[in-house]
A and B are shown apart, each in its own frame.
Chain A
């Protein structure tokens, strides 16, 4: 991911900025210009709360090279109380314990390093509550 693209995505990576469709009320994350449900184009900006529940998950055993040090790791679709859904890594637990219904908080973590000397890319990951 080149640095400028990471920088442009700060609103959703740092602040969980999402959009609520004025037509059907659906929440999309990250924000889009056309609603995937009703094709509406009027949106209200909202910020997802930093908590949610796992909707579905998987354990990655063979990931991209740069994530190989972390394997096996859990990836999950998490739904926040606003109805926004995001795909995040779930960490600080056994990957096999990440199952639908698990409550997680969304915490700010290092996502990846842009090569050996490149920038550090941060964002949110799920951490089981409690």
Chain B
């Protein structure tokens, strides 16, 4: 059986509070945090991007796996904020991690689902026997347009997963993907900020795909909601995953650990993978874990996972999600945030 042999996550230290963004635009800070259930979000430094976040998360994954990185035969990075329009993020990350040159590399893009997409393909290549180990990474430094609802949530972070067949930390029991063509959120070539369909992003997009994928994988695998110790659903805001989970029969307790959005925001391709990393940081052997991602456009990937005895022994080899969410933080004013996110027009 194939599964996860190593994982790592990274969240930048800069933060901005929802109330600081609300104040800038004359909105009621309480109404915003109550509506979105987001207190603060991570912000990349001027020197952080999808590539540096992928390296930081990837180094954690290699440390927890304890393998020679040269044995990784495939590396995929899912992101909607690859720093180059043409030139892969994956070549730089592979080289820094010591994975090159015998490796198949590609950059993936599928709005917020690109991370689980990379994991899905990496797992498949390991299962087929084509490669011994494969890494799937989800990372983003996403931008929301100023004074748009997305500005309160679009954040930065990522997680990396190495798949293999031996010395598993987590077994992958089943996977399922549910995809339709749904124009709920997009960014045309050359546009700086994405656009979205407002309320259309809810029922026909997020809920339809998350609920359909999760119901199908439960049906296929024969498990019911109450069998799981932890469940993670993609977190575009605080409310959507809790509402989807409730409709599927999951309790708040089952969702609590992976629900990292109130202190992190939505790190897009990094969102549900980072929630999963937070769960793996504290999971007990034999815990059943469900993760369902969502990417606009639109689709969901679901995984049914089971923690092994080895998992708790490997956690301390890299930084935990909790240590990064609650560790040293630097709070930005809106002005500093505008500078960090390069929203200020400068002369060359």
A residues sitting closer than 8 Å to B (CB atoms) are: 10, 14-15, 69-70, 91-93, 107-111, 116, 119-120, 122, 125, 128, 130
8 A Cβ contacts from B26-73 to A: 45-49, 51-52, 55-56
Contact B95 A10 (CB under 8 A): yes
Chain A interface, DSSP helix/strand/loop, else mixed: mixed
Q: Which are the 8 A-B pairs with shortest beta-carbon distances?
A: A109-B47, A108-B55, A110-B47, A14-B96, A92-B13, A109-B52, A108-B52, A108-B96
Q: Is B92 among interface residues, defined by CB-CB distance under 8 A? A: yes
Total A-B pairs in contact (CB under 8 Å)?
Answer: 49
Residues of A within 8 A of B194 (CB): none
Whether a CB of chain A sits under 8 angstroms from the CB of B183 is no
Whole-angstrom CA separation of A70 from B84 in the bound complex = 22
Interface residues of B in 81-105 (CB under 8 A from A): 83-84, 87, 92, 95-96, 98
B328 on the A face (CB < 8 A): yes
Q: Which residue of A lies closest to B323 (CB)?
A: A130
Alpha-carbon distance between A15 and B87 when the two chains are bound, in angstroms: 21
Report A45 CB to chain B, min CB distance, Å.
14
A69 touches B95 (CB 8 A): no
Point out the residues of chain B lying under 8 angstroms from A70, CB to CB: 46-47
The answer to whether residues A69 and B339 also contact, given A14-B95, A122-B92 and a CB cut-off of 8 A, is yes
Residues of B within 8 A of A (CB): 13, 45-49, 51-52, 55-56, 83-84, 87, 92, 95-96, 98, 327-328, 330, 339, 346, 348
Whether the Cβ atoms of A92 and B56 lie closer than 8 Å is: no
Verify B96–A111 contact, CB threshold 8 A: no
Cβ–Cβ < 8 Å partners of B56 in chain A: 107-108
Q: Nearest CB to that of A115 among chain B residues?
A: B348
Are B328 and A110 closer than 8 Å at their CB atoms?
Answer: no
Complex CA gap A93/B87 in Å reads: 32
A110 and B95 contact, Cβ closer than 8 Å, known pairs A116-B348, A130-B328: no
Contacts of B55 in A (CB 8 A): 108
Q: Which chain A residues lie closer than 8 Å to B83 at the CB level?
A: 110, 120
